[in-house]
């Protein structure tokens, strides 16, 4: 490490939980950061969709995102490019030249960086791609990301303004399905159950039904599942919904309760789709611009499946849900891990660590 020349900057693409954590950690190590975010606001999906709280302990999203956003916005070492994306990357580890394009004006700026962290995140699955659930046609069929915003507003209502009395959550929409996305999004069971609890707390006489194939509340998130039954009386029905039919007044939900081998057709006031996690446009664009490997599902493919941060391209590191579906806490960890690798790369403390 030389004292005469400053360390090269690190380019961070995406300002969600992973990108913000990476930028804040790099700045904390005294390294300059160029942070590029395609949207106007920082924070990624939790801020864009106004998550009320985060699973598993229902802590306000602000508690997690606020400090990171403020740290990044106030840091003199971080240059933020909003409404912008990385259009191309030339050079090699230690001396990259990245082209940043403003999406609105089309203005292009080249920056010199020594390493790069790609944290382009995910998109909530667009449920209108799976027509059996009437999403986008029946107004009382919504996604968990939309319910999150309603919960943040403290008002959950049907399209005509009445409070829903019966709400069905349909798990694995756009997940574990060859017709859409075959992978498991890992978090939507826990998030749905968390929202079910919040619905019960908000609307005293609401009856909540979770229609699931498996309940995959991993690790300590299992508490959510237990408490939703034991403290909040939420009902669980095992099966996969074949159709939602909008009667005009209510929604007829068709499925099979596989625990009794019984087909059901039950009326609900609101249907919430536990939409899965899709790789999203930002990830595809970044992969193309930077020249990264993409797996068969469209997520960025690390060199080794068990070492997420190693992109396989020297000097470029991966973090967050652009690699695989994950929770906010895992994305933050990923951001920190990628920042560590990028710091090592620009300071030349050691050769970049890969899978070995």
Query: Residues in the site for other proteins, rule: CB under 8 A?
Result: 207, 209, 215, 225-226, 229-230, 233, 235-238, 257, 259-267
Q: Are 262 and 238 in contact (CB under 8 A)?
A: no
Listed residue (13, 24, 120) closest to 72, CA to CA: 24
Nearer residue to other proteins within complex by CB, 29 or 266:
266
Length of the chain: 356
Nearer residue to other proteins within complex by CB, 215 or 333:
215
Instruction: Report the nearest approach of other proteins to the CB of residue 277 (Å).
Output: 25
Instruction: For residues 220 and 207, give the distance between their C-alpha atoms in angstroms, rounded to a whole number.
Output: 25
Instruction: Report the nearest approach of other proteins to the CB of residue 315 (Å).
Output: 48
Nearer residue to other proteins within complex by CB, 160 or 230:
230
Nearer residue to other proteins within complex by CB, 202 or 266:
266
Q: Distance of CA 260 to CAs 23, 170, 257, Å?
A: 52, 19, 6
Nearer residue to other proteins within complex by CB, 175 or 228:
228
Instruction: Report the nearest approach of other proteins to the CB of residue 276 (Å).
Output: 23
Nearer residue to other proteins within complex by CB, 50 or 166:
166
Beta strands in 75-214 (DSSP E): 78-81, 84-92, 95-102, 108-113, 115-118, 123-124, 141-143, 166-173, 207-212
Identify the DSSP state of 162: P
Instruction: For residues 113 and 97, give the distance between their C-alpha atoms in angstroms, rounded to a whole number.
Output: 6
* Pair of tokens at residue 284: 């595809």
Listed residue (52, 68, 26) closest to 345, CA to CA: 26
């Amino acid at each position: 490490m030389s004292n005469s020349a400053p360390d090269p900057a690190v380019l961070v693409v995406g300002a969600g939980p992973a990108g913000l954590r990476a930028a804040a950690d790099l700045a904390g190590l005294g390294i300059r950061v160029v942070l590029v975010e395609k949207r106007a606001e920082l924070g990624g999906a939790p801020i864009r969709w106004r998550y009320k709280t985060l699973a598993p302990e229902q802590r306000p999203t602000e508690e997690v995102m606020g400090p990171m956003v403020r740290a990044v916005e106030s840091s003199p070492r971080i240059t933020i490019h909003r409404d912008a994306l990385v259009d191309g990357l030339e050079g090699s580890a230690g001396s990259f030249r990245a082209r940043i394009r403003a999406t609105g004006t089309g203005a292009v700026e080249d920056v010199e960086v020594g390493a790069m962290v790609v944290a382009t995140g995910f998109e909530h699955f667009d449920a209108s791609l799976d027509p059996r659930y009437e999403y986008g046609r029946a107004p009382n069929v919504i996604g968990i990301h939309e319910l999150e915003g309603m919960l943040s507003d403290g008002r959950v209502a049907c399209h005509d303004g009445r409070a829903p009395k019966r709400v069905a959550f349909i798990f694995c929409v756009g997940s574990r399905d060859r017709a859409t996305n075959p992978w498991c999004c890992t978090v939507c069971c826990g998030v749905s159950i968390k929202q079910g609890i919040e619905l019960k707390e908000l609307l005293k006489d609401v009856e909540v039904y979770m229609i699931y194939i498996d309940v995959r509340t991993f690790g300590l998130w299992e508490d959510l599942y237990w408490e939703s039954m034991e403290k909040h009386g939420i009902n669980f029905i095992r099966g996969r919904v074949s159709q939602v039919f909008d009667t005009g007044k209510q929604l007829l939900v068709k499925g099979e309760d596989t625990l009794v081998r019984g087909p059901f057709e039950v009326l609900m006031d609101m249907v919430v789709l536990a939409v899965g996690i899709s790789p999203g446009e930002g990830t595809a664009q970044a992969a193309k611009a930077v020249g990264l490997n993409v797996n068969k599902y469209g997520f960025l493919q690390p060199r080794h499946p068990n070492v997420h941060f190693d992109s396989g391209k020297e000097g470029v590191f991966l973090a967050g849900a652009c690699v695989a579906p994950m929770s906010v806490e895992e994305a933050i960890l990923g951001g920190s891990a990628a920042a560590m690798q990028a710091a090592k790369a620009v300071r030349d403390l050691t050769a970049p660590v890969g899978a070995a």
